[in-house]
A = this chain, B = another copy of it.
């Protein structure tokens, strides 16, 4: 493929992913009622990676984590955002998301398509050090937001404390240090009565 043909594909991709700015998440900004969109969310995770990577349980390829968090929600352009606590719909790696990855990353020159699809799959699988840390960032941002909003969307959607805990404890797989700091925040939200325990 000529350089010019590569560039045409790359610019079409750059144009297409602008749509991520219209995908609204359930979570609200810090101390705010305004919901966050996926582009803002992805930017925030990348910034968190810059300042928090030192707390990873194991040494990281930071550039790889950055790419992962920047692209991890691109599939939602087609597949939409599903609330993490939605009991009816799976929130990750669905058929719709895989089709979206094929279509959107498929706009790029083939070895870039292969790289970004592999990074997205690696993030979804959550097994490597980079994926564990990226997923920790993806949990920590809404945790901080919901804490700043007195329970935020957990409270609005009446999510059980044990479900929040189960979802958030994966932060520990990326960073014991961060989890040691985040867990008391969750407990505090519970103690204040913003989160309920079903049993």
Q: Chain A, interface size: which category?
A: 35 or more
Shortest beta-carbon distance from A118 to chain B in Å: 13
- A74 nearest CB neighbor, chain B only: B47
The complex places the Cα of A11 from the Cα of B70 at a distance, in Å, of 20
**Could you tell me the distance in whole angstroms from the C-beta of A19 to the nearest C-beta in chain B?**
8
Query: Which of A37-45, A77-85, A189-197 contacts its partner?
Result: A37-45
Contact with B along A45-65 (1 / 0, CB 8 A): 011101110110000001100
Distance of A26 from chain B, by nearest CB (Å): 16
Interfacial residues of chain A within 71-94, with CB under 8 A of chain B in the complex: 71
One of A2-10, A121-129, A152-160, A161-169 at the interface: A2-10
Q: Which residues of B lie under 8 Å from residue A98 when comparing CB positions?
A: none
Number of copies: 2
A187 on interface, CB distance cutoff 8 Å: no
CA distance A37 to B52 in the complex (A): 24
Instruction: Give the contacts of A91-149 with B (CB-CB under 8 A).
Output: 108, 112, 116, 141, 144, 148
Say whether B67 contacts A15, CB under 8 Å: no
Task: Decide if A21 touches B36 in the complex (CB within 8 Å).
Answer: yes
Q: Does A29 contact B (CB under 8 A)?
A: yes
Complex: how many Å from CA A177 to CA B62?
28
A-B contact pairs, 23 of them (CB 8 A): A4-B181, A7-B52, A7-B178, A13-B51, A14-B44, A14-B47, A14-B48, A14-B52, A14-B141, A18-B29, A20-B43, A21-B40, A37-B40, A39-B43, A40-B43, A43-B46, A46-B70, A47-B71, A50-B67, A50-B71, A50-B116, A63-B63, A63-B66
Q: Any chain B CB within 8 A of the CB of A170?
A: no
Query: Which single residue of chain B is at the shortest CB-CB distance from A64?
Result: B63
Please measure, in the bound complex, the distance between the C-alpha atom of A8 and the C-alpha atom of B52, giving whole angstroms. 11
